[in-house]
A and B are shown apart, each in its own frame.
Chain A
Amino acid sequence: MLDLDQYASLGAALRDALDRWPNETCLIESDRNKEKTRLTYSDFKELALPLARSLEDADLKPDDRVAIIMTNQSKWLISAYAILHGGGVLVPLDYKLTAAEHLQLLAHCKARVLIVEYHLWRAITQSPEFKNHKLQTVLVTEAPPSGDLAGAFRWENFRRKGDPTFVPRQREDVACIVYSSGTAGRPKGCVLTHENYLEQCKSLTAWYPFWPGVRYLSILPTNHAIDFMVGFIGPFVCGACVVHLRTLRPEFVRDAFVRYKITYVSLVPMVLKNLERGLKAKFDALPAPKRFLLNRLISVNKAFTRLHPNLRLSRTLLPQVHRAFGGQLLTIIVGGAFMEPSTLQFFYDLGIPVANGYGLTEACTALTVNDLKPFRPDTVGKPLPGVQLRVLNPDADGIGEVAVQSKTVMAQYLDDPELTAETIVDGWLLTGDLGRFDGNGHLQLFGRKKNMIITEGGKNIYPEDIEAIFDSLPVKEFSVFAANYVWPAKNLGGEKLILVLRLEQGQEFTETLKEEINARNRRLPDFKRVSGYLIWDRDFPRTASMKIKRTVLAEEIGKRTDRAAVVEL
C-alpha cells in the first residue's frame, strides 16, 4: 500500500498507484455474464491521461466542479481520476435521481463540466429545466452512433494526445462535493477535502487492508460515499482490483462472487437481506437429512468461531456455502443503514465474516466498524483509528447524541454557513444519531434525533424533500414527518415517513382524497414514499414567515397521539 501520509492529494496518490502496479489488474467490468472490460493500472492510465488532456484543453481549471452521473463502470473511475489529475473538484451525483433533481444539484454546485451516461443525458435534456443549465462542457458515454447529444461531446472521442499537466493540490483543498440529501429542499452538499479522504482511507485500510490480488465487488453506487472509498480509492492505493457489474440483478451478483473470486464486498442491508433470503430458500429446499447435517455443521462452526472468525475451518465445514461466494471472500462490509442483528448473525454463523459499520457522508464515510474480535451483531463496531466519538447529554440509559471529531469530518456544507454552524459545533460534528458505548468500546445505535429516515438501500430521506409532491393537495395544510421523530423509538428498524393532514373545517377524509394522496405518492420513487397518514385536528404552529414549526408540531403530535393513530396507505 502507498504511504498516504506522504501525499497531499487524492490525485497525487492515485498517480503514483498507476505507476507502482502497472501490470496488476485494477478494473474488471462485467455486464450480466459477459466481461466487457479488463484493465491493468497501466491501461487505466492510458485511458485517463488523454481525457485529462482534453479536459485541460477545454479549459478545466483547478477547483472547477465536474459532476459525474453514471452507474458503476470503468468510465466512472477513469473520469474521476482525470478530473483529480487536473485539480478539479469531483461532484458525484446519484444516478437514480430524476432529471429535474440532477439539474437542481448541478445548478447548486455550479458544475462547469458534466460526465454522464447517454440514457441519463437524454432524460436531462428532455426536462423543462434543461434550458436554464449553465454547463459549459458535457461528455456523454456510450451514446449510439445516431444519438442526439444536444451539444454534448462523446466521452469516447474526447481525448487528446500529449501529457496533461498534473495540478498539485493541498490537503485542505476541496476534493469532492457529495450530496447527502436535499434534492427538493435544502441541498446538503458535503464539502470534503483531500485530507478527509486520505485520512479515511488510511484508517479503513488499517483494519481491512487491500493488496494486489484482492478483488473488491463494487455493487453500491460509486457516487455513494462508501463505494467511492472502498470501491475506488482504497483498492487503488493498494494495487487491488475493483469489479463492476452493470446490473444489480441478484442472480448476476451471486454469479460474480464465484466468477471473480471476490475478496471484499460492501453491501447495504437491502442487498444482504436479499442474499439471506436466497440462501434460506435453498436451505429450506434441502431434503431433511441434508438439512439436519447442515444445521449440525453450522452449530460446530458457531462454536469454533465464537471469539473470532476462522475462515479455513468455516470453508472446510461448509464448503458449498463458501463456494457460492467464490471461496475467497474475507469480509462483507455492511453499512449505509440499520441492519437487523439476526441477518448479520445468519451470515456469521455460516462462517462469513460480516463487519457492520456506521458512518455518514459528512464524515467522509465510516466512523465505526466491527473489528470481529469478537463478532458483534448488536453494535456498529468500534471507532476507527483517528476517530474520536462521544455521546452528548446522555440520559439515564447512557444514550445521547453521537458527536465526532476526526480528520475525516467535512469542511462545511456547500454555501450553507448556517447549517454548517448547526452541524459542526466547537469542532465536533453532531451526527443527529442517538447511541451509547458499551463496556467494550462498541457503539450501539438507538434512533435518531433528526427528522429523517435512512432506507435499507442506504438513502437518506428528509421529509421536507418530498413534501413538494403533495403541493396543492385539497386539505387545509399538511406536513411530512419521520415517524420515529414524532414518536421517538429506541431502535432504528422499520423507519417510515408519515403524512400529517389538517383538514378544512367540516371536511371529511374521503376515498377520493385517499386516491389523490396515493396517486401523488406513486410519483415518488418507492423508497421515498409516505407509508401512512394521520389526521391532525389543530392548526399547524407557524413562524412569522409562515413556515411550519416542525419541531413544535412533532412534539405536539407525539404528546397527544401514538403510532396507532397512523392509517396505512
Chain B
Amino acid sequence: MHTLDHTLDEILALAATHFKVPREKLTPDDDFFKTLGIDSLQALDLLTRLETHFHVELPDYELQGVTDFRTLASRIQARL
C-alpha cells in the first residue's frame, strides 16, 4: 500500500530523472514550473510518465492549478 509520502518520494525521483536535475534539489513544496524550468506542456509530459508509473489515468484538468509536488502527489494518491 502506497502512502502519500511514498508517492511523493517516487514523484520527486521520477521528475529528477525525467528532467535531468539532481534529486536533492527537489523538495515537496517546490513550484515545479520554476524549479524544473518547465512549461505547462512539459508538466503534462511528466504527468504521462507518472500515470504509466503509478498505473492511474488523470484527465488534464486534474493538473490545472497544481504547481507543487505535494499537491500533485495527493491527486495521484487519490486514484491509487
Which residues on A are within 8 Å of B, measured CB to CB?
Answer: 71, 95-96, 98, 119-120, 246-251, 270-271, 274, 456-457, 522, 525-527
Given A522-B67, A526-B67 in contact, is the A270-B60 Cβ separation under 8 Å? no
Q: Is the pair A270, B39 in contact by a Cβ cutoff of 8 Å?
A: yes
Chain B nearest CB from A273 CB (Å) reads: 8
The yes or no answer to B44 lying at the interface (CB within 8 A) is yes
Q: How far is the CA of A274 from the CA of B39 in the complex (A)?
A: 9
B50-72 interface (Cβ within 8 A of A): 59-61, 64-65, 67-68
Q: How far is the CA of A42 from the CA of B34 in the complex (A)?
A: 48
Q: Which of A98, A250, A522 makes the CB contact (< 8 A) with B41?
A: A250
Chain B nearest CB from A519 CB (Å) reads: 10
Given A71-B61, A248-B60, A525-B65 in contact, is the A270-B45 Cβ separation under 8 Å? no
Please name all residues of chain B whose beta carbon is closer than 8 Å to the beta carbon of A119 when the two chains form the complex. 59, 61
The yes or no answer to B47 lying at the interface (CB within 8 A) is yes
Q: How far is the CA of A90 from the CA of B65 in the complex (A)?
A: 27
Please name all residues of chain B whose beta carbon is closer than 8 Å to the beta carbon of A250 when the two chains form the complex. 41, 44-45
Q: How far is the CA of A250 from the CA of B46 in the complex (A)?
A: 10
Chain A nearest CB from B59 CB (Å) reads: 8
Please name all residues of chain A whose beta carbon is closer than 8 Å to the beta carbon of B42 when the two chains form the complex. 274
Q: How far is the CA of A457 from the CA of B39 in the complex (A)?
A: 9
Q: Which of B41, B59, B61, B68 makes the CB contact (< 8 A) with A270?
A: B41
Q: How far is the CA of A96 from the CA of B64 in the complex (A)?
A: 7
Please name all residues of chain A whose beta carbon is closer than 8 Å to the beta carbon of B44 when the two chains form the complex. 247-250
Q: How far is the CA of A248 from the CA of B60 in the complex (A)?
A: 7
B28-43 interface (Cβ within 8 A of A): 31, 33, 39-42
The yes or no answer to B17 lying at the interface (CB within 8 A) is no
Given A119-B61, A522-B67 in contact, is the A249-B48 Cβ separation under 8 Å? yes
Which residues on B are within 8 Å of A, measured CB to CB?
Answer: 31, 33, 39-42, 44-45, 47-48, 59-61, 64-65, 67-68
The 5 residue pairs across chains A and B that have the minimum distance between CB atoms: A274-B41, A526-B33, A249-B44, A249-B48, A247-B60
Please name all residues of chain A whose beta carbon is closer than 8 Å to the beta carbon of B40 when the two chains form the complex. 270, 457, 526-527
Please name all residues of chain B whose beta carbon is closer than 8 Å to the beta carbon of A98 when the two chains form the complex. 65
Q: How far is the CA of A525 from the CA of B40 in the complex (A)?
A: 10
Please name all residues of chain B whose beta carbon is closer than 8 Å to the beta carbon of A522 when the two chains form the complex. 31, 67-68
Q: How far is the CA of A98 from the CA of B61 in the complex (A)?
A: 12
Chain B nearest CB from A566 CB (Å) reads: 16
Please name all residues of chain B whose beta carbon is closer than 8 Å to the beta carbon of A246 when the two chains form the complex. 59-60
Please name all residues of chain A whose beta carbon is closer than 8 Å to the beta carbon of B45 when the two chains form the complex. 249-251
Chain B nearest CB from A388 CB (Å) reads: 36
Chain A nearest CB from B39 CB (Å) reads: 6
Given A522-B31, A526-B33 in contact, is the A248-B65 Cβ separation under 8 Å? no
Given A522-B31, A522-B67 in contact, is the A248-B61 Cβ separation under 8 Å? no
User: 18 other contacts beyond A249-B45, A274-B42, with CB at 8 A cut-off?
Assistant: A71-B60, A95-B61, A98-B65, A119-B61, A246-B59, A246-B60, A247-B60, A249-B47, A249-B48, A250-B44, A250-B45, A251-B45, A274-B41, A456-B39, A457-B39, A457-B40, A522-B67, A526-B31
Can you list 6 residue pairs at the A/B interface with Cβ under 8 Å?
A71-B60, A119-B59, A246-B60, A247-B59, A249-B48, A250-B44
Q: How far is the CA of A399 from the CA of B40 in the complex (A)?
A: 34
Q: How far is the CA of A527 from the CA of B41 in the complex (A)?
A: 12
Residue of chain B at shortest CB distance from A252? B48
Chain B nearest CB from A453 CB (Å) reads: 15
Given A96-B64, A526-B67 in contact, is the A251-B48 Cβ separation under 8 Å? yes
Chain B nearest CB from A425 CB (Å) reads: 37
Please name all residues of chain B whose beta carbon is closer than 8 Å to the beta carbon of A71 when the two chains form the complex. 60-61
Q: How far is the CA of A456 from the CA of B40 in the complex (A)?
A: 11
Chain B nearest CB from A244 CB (Å) reads: 13
Which of B41, B59, B65 is the most central at the interface, judged by chain A CB atoms within 10 Å of its CB?
Answer: B41
Please name all residues of chain B whose beta carbon is closer than 8 Å to the beta carbon of A525 when the two chains form the complex. 65
Please name all residues of chain B whose beta carbon is closer than 8 Å to the beta carbon of A271 when the two chains form the complex. 41
Which of B33, B39, B68 is the most central at the interface, judged by chain A CB atoms within 10 Å of its CB?
Answer: B39
Q: Is the pair B60, A249 in contact by a Cβ cutoff of 8 Å?
A: yes
Please name all residues of chain B whose beta carbon is closer than 8 Å to the beta carbon of A456 when the two chains form the complex. 39
Q: How far is the CA of A454 from the CA of B62 in the complex (A)?
A: 25
Q: How far is the CA of A98 from the CA of B64 in the complex (A)?
A: 10
Please name all residues of chain B whose beta carbon is closer than 8 Å to the beta carbon of A248 when the two chains form the complex. 41, 44, 60
Chain A nearest CB from B41 CB (Å) reads: 5
Please name all residues of chain A whose beta carbon is closer than 8 Å to the beta carbon of B65 when the two chains form the complex. 98, 525
Q: How far is the CA of A248 from the CA of B42 in the complex (A)?
A: 10
Chain A nearest CB from B8 CB (Å) reads: 18
Q: How far is the CA of A8 from the CA of B61 in the complex (A)?
A: 38
Q: How far is the CA of A457 from the CA of B33 in the complex (A)?
A: 14
Q: How far is the CA of A271 from the CA of B45 in the complex (A)?
A: 12
Chain B nearest CB from A332 CB (Å) reads: 16
Residue of chain A at shortest CB distance from B38? A526
Chain A nearest CB from B80 CB (Å) reads: 20
Q: How far is the CA of A71 from the CA of B67 in the complex (A)?
A: 20
Please name all residues of chain B whose beta carbon is closer than 8 Å to the beta carbon of A96 when the two chains form the complex. 64
Chain B nearest CB from A195 CB (Å) reads: 35
Q: How far is the CA of A270 from the CA of B41 in the complex (A)?
A: 8
Please name all residues of chain B whose beta carbon is closer than 8 Å to the beta carbon of A527 when the two chains form the complex. 40
Q: How far is the CA of A247 from the CA of B42 in the complex (A)?
A: 13
Residue of chain A at shortest CB distance from B47? A249
